[in-house]
Amino acid sequence: MKALSAILRLFRTTAFKIAFVYSLLFAFATGAVVLVIVHNLGVLLERQIIETVDADIRGLADQFDQGGVNQLARIIARRIARPGAEIYLLTSFTGAPIVGNVAALPLGALDASEPVETSYRRAGDEREVHRAVARIVSFPGGFKLLVGHDIEERNLLRRLVRRALLSTFFWLAGLGALGGLFVARRVLKRVDAMSASATAIMGGDLSGRLPTDGSGDELDRLAQNLNAMIERIEALLKGVREVTDNVAHDLRTPLTRLRNDAEEALRQPDGPVQRKALEKIIGESDQLIRIFEALLLIARAESGAGPAMQSVDVTALANDAAELYEAATEDHGGAFASDIAADLFVKGNRELLFQALANLIDNALKYAGAKPHIALSARREGARILLAVADNGPGIAPHDRERARDRFVRLDDSRSTRGSGLGLSLVSAIAHLHDGTFRLEDNAPGLRAVIDLPAGEGTSHVGSGEAAHARLR
Amino acid sequence: MSDMRLLVIEDDSDAAAYLVKAFREQGFSVDHAADGLEGYALASEGDYDVLIVDRMLPKLDGLSLISSLRAQKIETPALILSALGQVDDRVKGLRAGGDDYLAKPYAFSELLARVEVLARRKAGFGGEETLLRVADLELDRLSHKLTRAGKDIVLQPREFRLLEYLMRNAGKVVTRTMLLEHVWDYHFDPQTNVIDVHISRLRGKIDKGHAVALLHTVRGVGYMLKEDPDGVGKGDEA
């Protein structure tokens, strides 16, 4: 049963079907070509036979003209005495044979005026019926002369060729099918191996790869591409796992604190201690909400389902940010410098871009240390708008810069400081939403965070507030 | 505050009960509607000072409710409460005729501050008068002049807008996000207390050297410009 199903499976393979159809087509084409050749050969041979017979008749007619029927009969008699002679029959006006080597003819065979193919029996060998091509001529006095040529040999040749053809046909079909089977089995084996690996990978072992043999053929390329795909999926899943781990950590920690504070509040009698614990609880939940909001925003930005894009006056935006944060920086005992070019516009969302700038400045303030020096610059470089926030903090080591933009990553030395860990990844998501990039550079010393956006068009308008922002009066 | 009438249109009964109780404790008289149609009927008949409208309501959603009211020329200030807090949702809510937008979850003190500002607007305070006055502090919106006890004070343009907003809402608590939205015209979440620094600079200019402080911090909520310090801390109860 197993062998049968294996064979059935083989028959169902594409390779086998292709091989089978090709061998059939090839066999039929070969057969057709040989048949045409044989037919043409037959026609040619027949024409030659008729020509020979006609020449013979012309010679014998001359003899009749010279010596009458007697001389003709004499010559025919002499000819049929030789072995392998042609077929001759001379009859009188009554139809009675005068001389010849034909023992029997079908009725009416002597009435034909054109060359005919007819059966006959040869004198001296009367049991066997032969086939011949013959022409009949009439002479004065009612004499009729039949001259013919035996075509048994030609027919034998034809039969031989037909038989050879048939066997060739079967050989070709058989060999083709066998070849197909061979190729199909080879391919099937590799596909089976790929299929088995794929099943294992689907089972959850994403470190597995499909077998490749380096031959570079279609199957090999397919396996390589599938492997590349699996690699990408593995990387994505790893990223998701890392994010969920970090989410678990960053949400569990404040949730635990929240719970502890609530339990603490419950244990205390009414009073200032309980009140303080409750205030802490509100603080913790605000932090959780902030993380949650940032995650939602990142998810929306990353999925490209961002808000409507409008022309944003980046010059005004950067000036607003500088104005808002300058005081805070000075309050920290630092200095805030800004270098903002005029007439900078991008197509985007004003609120999100401002949030991105604010995140960068907040970040700089958080890490720049006791005397923060923060420099905000906005300028145009070709078709790009570069928004940069530089600080004089410890910076981020080159190998950590890529990771720093990931969700929830707080580099180890900052794990303990408060913050959602989402600030930079939110900036990154916002930059991507605006078809831009976000990169971290060395400010030597410190960190330089650059938002690189495609420049848009716009006109300077006073009072950059959107109409939709209801101004309360 | 007993003369202020609120309509809370919210389908979640727990959330509605909480809001009704909390606003009554603050001295508001509060009605409640549990779905959009009931809310629409009440809002178009009753004389309310502020509507608090949940965005997602059964039968008639919050945005349609507000646009229908506005189409009927009913201009009662409406504050939209929504679980959709993204920038676009906010813009949509304000375009539909809402006067303010607050994303869930919110601090009650924030909601209270916003409702009081809206109620004040309905009452016709802080309209377009050109001269604002709190105690001996005078701000002329046309000439951009500020004096305290007759002495000129020079402010940066942003400080002027900040003080103008505080004075228009004198006696009311304004939160940091309200200041960011109305003075800086940005709706975002700062990690640093950027507003506090601006307030303390403003305070340095208007209160320094005067016996009575006008600009007060309401702990955990925001700020209030007020002559009588007794009222300060009221918003702290939340």
Query: What is the rounded CA–CA span in Å between residue B139 and residue B152?
Result: 10
Let me know: does B76 contact B50? Beta carbons within 8 Å.
yes
Q: Which residues, other chains included, contact A390 with Cβ-Cβ below 8 Å and sequence gap of 6+?
A: A364, A374, A375, A377, A443, A446, A447, A448, A449
Burial class (CB in 10 A: 0-12, 13-18, 19+), A473: middle
- Residue A182, pLDDT score: 81
Query: What is the rounded CA–CA span in Å between residue B142 and residue B160?
Result: 12
Report the pLDDT averaged over residues A13-20: 73
Residues of A in contact with B193 (CB under 8 A): 328
Mean pLDDT score of chain B, rounded to an integer?
A: 82
Report the pLDDT averaged over residues B26-38: 88
Q: Which residues, other chains included, contact A254 with Cβ-Cβ below 8 Å and sequence gap of 6+?
A: A284, A287, A288, A291
Residues of A in contact with B197 (CB under 8 A): 327-328, 330-331
Residues of A in contact with B128 (CB under 8 A): 473
Kind of pairing between the strands at A335-340 and A373-381 = parallel
Query: What is the rounded CA–CA span in Å between residue A333 and residue A327?
Result: 10
Question: Please, what is the angle between helix B194-206 and helix B157-168, to 10°?
Answer: 80
Encoded amino acid at A156, one letter: L
pLDDT in tens, A57-112: 888 888 888 888 888 888 888 888 888 788 888 888 887 888 888 877 777 777 77
| Terminal-residue alpha carbon distance, chain A | 88
Reduced to 3 states (helix: H, G, I; strand: E, B; else coil), residue B112 is: helix
**Residue B85 to residue A470, Cβ atoms within 8 A:** no
Q: Of A15-29, A214-228, A241-255, which has the strongest mean pLDDT?
A: A214-228
- Residue A406, pLDDT score: 62
Let me know: does A452 contact A440? Beta carbons within 8 Å.
no
- Residue A387, pLDDT score: 92
Let me know: does A197 contact A211? Beta carbons within 8 Å.
yes
Q: Count the Cβ atoms, other than its own, within 10 Å of residue B180.
A: 20
Query: What is the rounded CA–CA span in Å between residue A105 and residue A118?
Result: 8
Tell me what percent of the residues of chain B surpass a pLDDT of 90. Answer: 4
Joined together, the tokens standing for residue B98 give 């809402």
What are φ and ψ of residue A220, in 5° steps?
-65, -45
Let me know: does A378 contact A387? Beta carbons within 8 Å.
yes
How many interchain CB pairs under 8 A, A with B? 90
Encoded amino acid at B217, one letter: T
Residues of B in contact with A366 (CB under 8 A): 191-192
CA distance A222 to chain B (A): 44
Please tell me which of the candidates B117, B127, B201 has its beta carbon nearest to residue A327.
B201
Residue B192 has pLDDT above 80, yes or no: no
All domains in chain B, ordered by first residue: 5-122 (3.40.50.2300), 131-237 (1.10.10.10)
Categorize the per-residue pLDDT at A405 as very low, low, confident or very high, splitting at 50, 70 and 90: low
pTM of the model: 0.60
Report the pLDDT averaged over residues A156-184: 78
**Residue B186 to residue A365, Cβ atoms within 8 A:** no
**Is the minimum CB–CB distance between A305 and chain B shorter than 8 Å?**
no
Residue A417 has pLDDT above 50, yes or no: no
pLDDT in tens, A243-263: 777 777 777 777 888 888 888
pLDDT in tens, A110-120: 777 788 888 88
Categorize the per-residue pLDDT at A451 as very low, low, confident or very high, splitting at 50, 70 and 90: very high
Categorize the per-residue pLDDT at B79 as very low, low, confident or very high, splitting at 50, 70 and 90: very high
Residue A421 has pLDDT above 70, yes or no: no
CA distance A289 to chain B (A): 8
Tell me what percent of the residues of chain A surpass a pLDDT of 70. Answer: 90
CA-nearest residue to B185 within chain A is A465
**Residue B185 to residue A464, Cβ atoms within 8 A:** yes
pLDDT in tens, A344-371: 889 888 888 898 898 888 888 888 777 8
Tell me what percent of the residues of chain A surpass a pLDDT of 90. Answer: 3
**Residue A324 to residue B184, Cβ atoms within 8 A:** yes
CA-nearest residue to A350 within chain B is B186
All domains in chain A, ordered by first residue: 14-158 (3.30.450), 218-300 (1.10.287), 307-454 (3.30.565.10)
**Residue A327 to residue B181, Cβ atoms within 8 A:** no
Report the pLDDT averaged over residues A442-465: 74
Q: Pick B72 or A470 by higher pLDDT.
A: B72
- When mean pLDDT is compared across A182-191, A299-308, A377-386, A440-449, the lowest value belongs to A299-308
Categorize the per-residue pLDDT at A468 as very low, low, confident or very high, splitting at 50, 70 and 90: very low
Mean pLDDT score of chain A, rounded to an integer?
A: 79
- Residue B204, pLDDT score: 87
B105 preceded by cis ω (within 30°)?
Answer: yes
CA-nearest residue to B96 within chain A is A468
A445 preceded by cis ω (within 30°)?
Answer: yes
**Is the minimum CB–CB distance between A291 and chain B shorter than 8 Å?**
no
Distances (CA, A) of A304 to A301, A345, A431, B187: 5, 21, 11, 21
ipTM: 0.77
Query: What is the rounded CA–CA span in Å between residue A241 and residue A235?
Result: 10
Query: What is the rounded CA–CA span in Å between residue A296 and residue B86?
Result: 9
| Terminal-residue alpha carbon distance, chain B | 17
Residues of B in contact with A469 (CB under 8 A): 94, 181, 185, 187
pLDDT in tens, B101-160: 888 888 888 898 899 888 876 665 545 677 888 888 888 888 888 888 888 888 888 888
Joined together, the tokens standing for residue A367 give 């890490």
- Residue B52, pLDDT score: 92
Categorize the per-residue pLDDT at A215 as very low, low, confident or very high, splitting at 50, 70 and 90: confident
- Residue A415, pLDDT score: 39
Encode A214-237 in three state secondary structure.
CCCCHHHHHHHHHHHHHHHHHHHH
Tell me the residue ranges of DSSP E strands in A297-436.
310-313, 335-340, 345-348, 373-381, 384-390
Kind of pairing between the strands at A102-104 and B131-134 = unpaired
**Residue B87 to residue A300, Cβ atoms within 8 A:** no
Query: What is the rounded CA–CA span in Å between residue A427 and residue A411?
Result: 17
Residue A282 has pLDDT above 60, yes or no: yes
Kind of pairing between the strands at B5-9 and B50-54 = parallel
**Is the minimum CB–CB distance between A283 and chain B shorter than 8 Å?**
no
Half-sphere exposure of residue A112: CA atoms within 13 angstroms, side-chain side? 17
**Residue B94 to residue A469, Cβ atoms within 8 A:** yes
Chain CA centroid to CA A33, Å: 38
Please tell me which of the candidates A290, A300, A330 has its beta carbon nearest to residue B189.
A290
Residue B188 has pLDDT above 80, yes or no: no
Query: What is the rounded CA–CA span in Å between residue B197 and residue A326?
Result: 9
Q: Which of B60, B59, B110 is nearest to B81 (CA)?
A: B110
**Residue B87 to residue A465, Cβ atoms within 8 A:** no
Which of the residues B128, B160, B191 would you substitute to probe the A interface, choosing the one with the greatest number of A C-beta atoms within 10 Å?
Answer: B191
Residue B235 has pLDDT above 50, yes or no: no
Let me know: does A130 contact A154? Beta carbons within 8 Å.
no
